[in-house]
Structures are given as C-alpha cells and as structure tokens.
Amino acid sequence: MKMNLFVFIPAMLIFSCRNIETGSKEIPNKDSLSSIVPDSSILISQVLTKAQQDKLTPDQVIESLSKGNEEFVNDLLTVRNNSRRIREAALGQYPKAVILSCVDSRIPVEDVFHKGIGDLFVARVAGNIVNEDILGSLEFACKVSGSKLIVVIGHEYCGAIKSAIDGVQLGNITALLSKIKPAVQYIQDSLKTKGSSSDAAFVDLVCRENVVLAIQNIRKKSPVLREMEKKGEIKIIGSVYHMKSGKVDFF
C-alpha cells in the first residue's frame, strides 16, 4: 500500500549524495531512496495526550529533555510523522514543559531537545528576561495547560547580555536591557571589576546569573507558579546552551 508520509529527511541524503572521490553530485535512484525513507512503524507520530501528561512528574520531564539533548548533540535522527502530529495536535495540546529562551536564531529550541509538534511550549524574548507577558504565558502553560516544568535557557555569546554589559541605549531595547542590568551588577560586585563584553568568561558569568535572576523573578512575581512549585506540581530550573557543541547544562 502506498503511503504519503511527510517526514524529516536530511537534505544531504536526498538531494546531495556526493561522490567522495570525484566530488560530483549524484541523484539516488528509487531503490536507494527506499533505504533512506524509514518504515512507518518506526515513525514518532503520536502527540502527548492529557492522560499521559497527567502521569508525568517534573523529574521525568527533565530526564526526557536531557535525553533529547543528548540525541541532538550526537546527531541522532528522530523521524516524525508531522502530517499526523499536526492533525492530532489540532484537537488539543498537552506539552511536557515550557521553555523560556532568548530570541537568538542559533537556538532552535525544539530541535535542541529533540522534540516536535505538541511537545513543548516555547516563550522567546531577547535575553530570556521575565516581564508580565512572559509570566502570563508561563502561568498559562503550567496552570491551565498542565506543563510540569519551566526551563529558563540562556546561551553563550548572547548579544543581549553583551549589550547590557556595554550599557547600550536604543529605543525599547533600553528598557529590555534594564532587566538584565541587575545580573551584570551582581557579577561586577562579586568580582570587584567592571568587566567587558569582550571578556568571554565575564559574559558567561553574567549569562548564568541572568538565568538565576529570571528564575527568582518568576517565583517572586507569580504567586500561581510559586504555589505550584511549592506543592511539587512543577519545577523551575535553569540551563545554559553551548553554541559550539549544542549541549545544554541544567542547574
């Protein structure tokens, strides 16, 4: 029976099979393509159901994200039947976690954790800062939609962090960077140095402290999430994404 599967297949495998000796491009024939496209039995096609979400614990979700990131780092392909997942997710969504990330285009959040449609809520804002709108989004994800985990993820070489260190002032960016300034000040006071955006070690310290600050703000400014965490219904954790390796360190 012929099946119409919309799956992710690396473009290099399908469109650019290169002859190693000559460097020429070859188009694979029909038989070779059949060995690339996986059998439908191994496709990940089902989105999370409410019953499955209800059974999850925050620690199980952390383990799932850690495993997914390990697969991402090691370039292990996860094949997903996105056509089916789209149809299933249209009827409802029950993601495992909500990720608060920077807007940086070099962090494809779902890919980083090897997740797909319906697996994660993702809130993105430069510098992964916390404001009223972000808090409302996190509350929706956890209190209304049942997510078990909040992950704040910072990253190396963050332009917002560097701009906050340099004291950049430009339009609405100024107000955004003011939310990162306390992290900059804390590291400056701790090291007794002004620091510089050209100092990678200093930037990394501010990046991590900014994640810690975001978590503190979530707990301080959201009684809803604070109470859920107190009851063990959710966990709120921090992490840093390493650009060169793709590794996420949780803390």
Q: What is the pLDDT of residues 11-64, one digit of tens each?
A: 333 333 333 333 444 444 544 444 444 444 444 557 788 999 999 999 999 999
Q: What is the pLDDT of residue 167?
A: 97
For residue 51, give Cα distances in angstroms to 47, 48, 97, 154, 230: 12, 8, 15, 31, 23
Write phi, then psi, for 128 (nearest 5 degrees): 40, 50
Residue-wise burial string across 32-49, b where 16 or more C-beta atoms lie within 10 A, e elsewhere: eeeeeeeeeeebbbebbe
Q: What is the pLDDT of residue 3?
A: 45
Coil, strand or helix at 153: strand
Q: What type of residue is 202?
A: F
- Band of pLDDT at residue 141, cut at 50, 70 and 90: very high
What sign does the dihedral 99-105-107-113 (CA atoms) show? Answer: positive
**In the chain, % of residues over pLDDT 90:** 72
β strands within 3-101, DSSP E: 17-18, 25-26, 97-101
- The encoded tokens of residue 214 equal 């975001």
Whole-number average pLDDT of the chain:
84
- Residues 204-217: what's their mean pLDDT? 98
Residue 143: pLDDT over 60: yes
pTM value is 0.80
Coil, strand or helix at 126: helix
Q: Which residues, other chains included, contact 115 with Cβ-Cβ below 8 Å and sequence gap of 6+?
A: 65, 68, 96
Residue 105: pLDDT over 80: yes
Residue-wise burial string across 216-243, b where 16 or more C-beta atoms lie within 10 A, e elsewhere: ebbeeebeebeebbeeebbbbbbbbbee
**Residue predicted with more confidence, 24 or 223:** 223
Write phi, then psi, for 116 (nearest 5 degrees): -135, -155
Beta bridge partners of 27: none
What domains, with CATH codes, occur in the chain?
A: 11-40 (no CATH), 43-250 (3.40.1050.10)
The answer to whether the beta carbons of residues 5 and 83 sit under 8 Å apart is yes
Q: What is the pLDDT of residue 76?
A: 87
β-pair type (97-101, 25-26): unpaired
